[in-house]
Chains A and B, each alone.
Chain A
């Protein structure tokens, strides 16, 4: 859809714009992490910001995730609104205590007497042969543990609005952006993520899914890059007269279960597309959300198109074999028809 005042941004630029606007609006907002100041972030999320805000507020850290994420928790409890970057979500292994035992539990363990208004932004996803310590999504791992809101935008409009909402939230928000959607060129570019993004500040509510495409025959639920696979699959299916509805979750915590259920109630068929490992994950949660509520409106058993339960391999052919894509979604729909 073309708009008269169209201003297309990449997700990286829209994240940087949200950070800049919030930092202008509220001096308690600051950003810290690795390679954010001079480099502007490995994924461009803070590009140009150190020039405007200085290196106190766009703060490079030592390679010490336990210390600086723990420090963000302490700063947030002391009234600041830190945004910290965990460069690759895969690195959570070195600092998870600060995340799930401190960031996620201090509000609860204080009985609500402290707030932890911080954002943990972190890159997810593969597809570019970086192997299994730099390509994971682990959405389910974060969404499973209570006390953290979790968002994952699929386009620049949502990326900006969710970042603004996350910064203004008094609870910790894990902001998981997919490397393949950043529009960085060198990581590949998903054109569908580069959309009209208003210049003024705005929020996208955390916990509200979006209908990325309306349809009547099958519901395809996904998040992040999976939404673009789903949209492409929907185009292919439309050629055969099948109208797929694509639900972009946008938030994993809270999960918009109503939107999922309403869509499936209408279509009677469900496919979940998830780049995280298949078992015990987002796909299973979405399916459970539907079937534990109502099964009589299902015309076929739900399907998941997710990453197989193996570490992510390096070799291109092996990795591409494992990743979800539009063809696999179309194939899943055909299996639903024969089920």
Chain B
């Protein structure tokens, strides 16, 4: 399955938007946190998990998804949220903890919920699996269209929720796809040290479902394999397990000194940055001109600037709003 020209440009645009968004967040994150880094201080307090480098996974999968389809994301959700069409302004405001945020500041960056596009998060490793399978079951029971994608990290496959949900989804033949973003590191412990198999696609055999491993953080290949899996799910043929080799260009969280990385590891990563690579390929393949891509980048930057300005200018929530929305 190959992406159309429009899909390619959509993918590129969303990768760029995600990167520009996270660059802005990264910069603002350190406001008020220097010279002494204290996570509780600054414009954006709390933990911050950035996804730069992992954008191809989000766009390669979400290029096939419609608004009605469901995505559950992780503690590192921005690229997935952007690719699923989550409201960027309200997401930015949520990350800033503002009243205008998606949940009025109650959730922050690890708890992004946008029911308009069926997007939800959990900050707990592997725990998006069950809800995604349940949403898929809901569509089957209601005879309504829709597939559910659970994005997880490679560390999450060692959680019970992964095994339980893969089995459940397979035995019920649900329209469910598990996409593992293999960025090789669970905080500071490498995949090699934590995981008994080199590639998690082999685990698909345990559930009698197709498994794929995609090398090279390549949005074209991801689009291809994800497209097959999603078509299969839409046709009622059940779940698929996909693992994608990707890279975390930043640390696990902002402020992570990354002392655990072997020396020189990141040099290679930045050379493999998927965004300039895709840009070069789009031009080489004749899918876009320099000017057209420049225009996309300008547009993305403007969208990001607008979202960040919205977040900055929004009011803080009233403190006592903390006591509301516990129940429906």
Contact = CB atoms under 8 A, between A and B. Distances in A.
A67 B141 contact: no
B115 A116 contact: no
Interface string B284-328: 000000000000000000000000000000000000000011111
B103 A64 contact: no
Contacts of A108: 103, 106-107, 325-326
A73 to B, nearest CB: 5
A100 to B, nearest CB: 10
Contacts of B104: 111
B113 A113 contact: yes
B282 to A, nearest CB: 36
Given A64-B164, A112-B325, A101 B124 contact: yes
Contact of B120 (A77, A101, A115, A117): A77
B167 A68 contact: no
Contacts of B276: none
Given A73-B130, A78-B70, A111-B103, A67 B164 contact: yes
- List the 9 closest pairs (A to B, CB-CB), nearest first: A70-B130, A74-B134, A71-B134, A111-B103, A74-B131, A170-B328, A67-B164, A110-B113, A64-B164
Residue of A28, A67, A80 with most chain B CB atoms under a 10 A cut-off: A67
A79 B142 contact: yes
Contacts of A109: 103, 106-107, 111, 113, 121
A75 B137 contact: yes
Nearest to A72: B134
B127 A97 contact: yes
A59 to B, nearest CB: 8
Contact of B138 (A70, A74, A102, A107): A74
A10 B306 CA distance: 62
A112 B328 contact: yes
A271 interface: no
B171 A70 contact: no
Given A98-B127, A108-B103, 14 more contacts: A28-B142, A30-B141, A65-B164, A70-B130, A75-B135, A75-B138, A80-B142, A106-B120, A110-B111, A111-B106, A113-B103, A114-B113, A115-B328, A171-B328
A249 interface: no
A166 B107 CA distance: 26
Given A69-B130, A70-B129, A107-B328, A114 B115 contact: yes
B179 interface: no
11 contacts: A66-B130, A66-B161, A66-B165, A67-B133, A75-B141, A97-B127, A102-B131, A106-B113, A110-B113, A111-B106, A147-B326
A78 to B, nearest CB: 4
A6 interface: no
Contact of B115 (A65, A105, A113): A113
A75 B134 contact: yes
Interface of A: 28, 30, 56-57, 61-62, 64-80, 82, 94, 97-98, 101-102, 105-117, 146-147, 149, 169-171
Interface string B62-85: 000000001010000000000000
Interface in B133-152: 133-139, 141-142, 148
Contacts of A77: 115, 120, 131, 134-135
Residue of A69, A107, A116 with most chain B CB atoms under a 10 A cut-off: A107
Contacts of A147: 326-327
B139 A78 contact: yes
B101 interface: yes
A186 to B, nearest CB: 30
Nearest to B324: A112
A164 to B, nearest CB: 17
Interface in B44-60: none
Contacts of B129: 67, 70
B314 to A, nearest CB: 14
A68 B130 contact: yes
A233 B171 CA distance: 51
A71 B168 contact: yes
Contacts of B165: 64, 66-67, 70-71
A39 to B, nearest CB: 18
Nearest to A104: B326
B105 to A, nearest CB: 8
B14 interface: no
Contacts of A73: 130-131, 134
A256 to B, nearest CB: 16
Nearest to A147: B326
Contacts of B327: 107, 147, 149, 170-171
Contacts of B113: 106, 109-111, 113-114
Contacts of B134: 70-78, 82
Contacts of A66: 130, 160-161, 164-165
Given A73-B131, A106-B113, A80 B141 contact: yes
Given A70-B131, A109-B113, A110-B115, A61 B168 contact: yes
Interface in B1-55: none
Residue of B104, B132, B160, B328 with most chain A CB atoms under a 10 A cut-off: B328
Contacts of B120: 74, 77, 106, 110, 114
Contacts of B101: 111
Residue of B137, B171, B327, B328 with most chain A CB atoms under a 10 A cut-off: B327
B122 A101 contact: yes
Nearest to A98: B130
Contacts of B141: 30, 56-57, 75, 80
B247 to A, nearest CB: 28
B310 to A, nearest CB: 16
Contacts of A170: 327-328
A30 B122 CA distance: 25
A175 to B, nearest CB: 16
